[in-house]
């Protein structure tokens, strides 16, 4: 079954064709990231305009690269949320029109669940249940995943998302946007124990809070004036990743789960991968990270999860978005 995936939730306009939820025939991403750099974060108006101007080209390229005509597509899957509403509307409207015009099913996809799917797409997925850790620019969430249709939220951030904290710290240090990859790289040259930035689980729960540590970095930089950026990055990173690892392991212990699936932009982080791999070896856990090519926003994960959901729910040709997942 050939599914065309469309993703426009934030600053990437993406389209992809995936066969049977697994084989990526094309994966086209047009990013507006460079246009946001001087503002230090995503400007919704700029992101949306980029989608409007590029969506047709991106979809055409994804079909061309897959060597398919639009009539060969069996269904259209589109990100329906969460994300910037005007940005989502571009993809959703386009997918709706295509589905209606072609008379093919339309599958509405949750962006965060698609991020998790990107980690398991290649080998068809781990056994259920697993703990899913979503770490992106907009979310930090722990899910107990019973199957691709049943996600139970067990931990969430009460304020900033972890990627957002990386981006804000990068802004404080004048490192540009997006901050995650730069902080990750600089931290490799720094001492993670140089500065104590405290970041703890909220009230001993599985929830997170990252606004305090970001403010601590701001005050530290203001107070000290001249600082070693490498040490600041390494110390900040160690404290936030420490909490992420701690809460994730606690979620796995609480629910007696041995498999962990990680997804979202921050899953590209090299130190997090190291820390998780060490814990997984020590505790005998199975660990699934996406390939680096699928960590940031893309439509292959949307088309892939679309296939799984379509299989669960059976065929139903509709041109209406289904909001029931």
Can you tell me the distance from the alpha carbon of 109 to that of 88, in angstroms, rounded to the nearest whole number?
A: 11
Of 98 and 233, the one with the shorter C-beta distance to ligand KG4 is 233
Residue 267 partner contact from Zn ion, ligand KG4, none using kind-dependent CB cut-offs of 5 to 8 Å: none
Cα dist. 240→14, 21, 43, 131, 179 in Å?
Answer: 30, 33, 26, 19, 14
Cα dist. 274→117, 229, 267, 277, 311 in Å?
Answer: 21, 22, 11, 5, 35
Q: Using the rule CB under 6 A, is 166 a contact of ligand KG4? A: yes
Which one among 26, 99, 118, 136 touches Zn ion, defined by CB under 5 A?
136
H helix or E strand, kind and range, residue 102: helix 85-102
Residue that has been written with the tokens 């703890």 in this structure:
200
Which one among 81, 181, 192, 242 touches ligand KG4, defined by CB under 6 A?
181
CB 133 within 8 A of CB 260: yes
Cα–chain center distance at 179: 15
- Least distance in Å: CB of 265 to Zn ion? 6
Backbone dihedral angles phi then psi of residue 78, each to the nearest 5 degrees: -140, 145
Output DSSP code: residue 20: T
Interface stretch with ligand KG4, choices 14-22, 160-168, 189-197, 300-308 (CB under 6 A): 160-168
Residue 180 partner contact from ligand KG4, Zn ion, none using kind-dependent CB cut-offs of 5 to 8 Å: ligand KG4
Contact set for Zn ion, span 293-312 (CB under 5 A): 297
Contact set for ligand KG4, span 109-138 (CB under 6 A): 136-138
Binding mask 257-286 for ligand KG4 (x = CB under 6 A): -------xxx-xx-----------------
Residues that bind Zn ion (CB under 5 A): 136, 297
* Footprint of ligand KG4 (CB under 6 A): 10, 136-138, 163, 166-167, 178-181, 184, 264-266, 268-269, 296-297
């Amino acid at each position: 079954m050939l599914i065309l995936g469309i993703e426009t939730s934030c600053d990437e306009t993406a389209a992809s064709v995936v066969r049977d939820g697994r084989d990526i025939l094309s994966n086209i991403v047009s990013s507006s990231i460079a246009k946001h750099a001087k503002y230090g974060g995503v400007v919704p108006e700029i992101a949306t305009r980029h989608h409007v101007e590029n969506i047709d080209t991106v979809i055409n390229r994804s079909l061309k690269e897959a060597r398919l005509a639009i009539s060969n597509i069996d269904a259209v899957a589109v990100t329906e949320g969460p994300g910037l509403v005007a940005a989502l509307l571009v993809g959703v409207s386009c997918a709706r029109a295509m589905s209606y015009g072609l008379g093919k099913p339309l599958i509405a996809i949750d962006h965060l669940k698609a991020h998790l799917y990107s980690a398991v797409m290649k080998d068809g997925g781990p056994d259920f249940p697993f703990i899913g850790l979503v770490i992106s620019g907009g979310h930090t969430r722990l899910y107990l995943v019973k199957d691709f249709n049943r996600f139970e939220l067990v931990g969430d951030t009460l304020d900033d998302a972890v990627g957002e904290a990386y981006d804000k710290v990068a802004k404080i240090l004048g490192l540009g946007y997006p901050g995650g990859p730069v902080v990750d790289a600089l931290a490799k040259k720094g001492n993670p124990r140089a500065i104590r930035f405290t970041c703890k689980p909220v009230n001993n729960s599985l929830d997170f809070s990252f606004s305090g540590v970001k403010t601590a970095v701001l005050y530290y930089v203001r107070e000290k004036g001249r600082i070693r950026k490498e040490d600041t990055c390494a110390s900040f990173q160690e404290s936030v990743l420490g909490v992420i690892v701690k809460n994730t392991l606690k979620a796995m212990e609480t629910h007696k789960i041995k498999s962990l699936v990680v997804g979202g932009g921050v899953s590209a982080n090299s130190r997090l991968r190291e820390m998780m791999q060490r814990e997984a070896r020590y505790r005998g856990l199975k660990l699934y990270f996406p390939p680096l090519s699928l960590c940031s926003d893309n439509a292959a994960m949307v088309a892939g999860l679309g296939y799984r959901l379509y299989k669960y729910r059976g065929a139903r040709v509709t041109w209406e978005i289904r909001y029931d997942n």
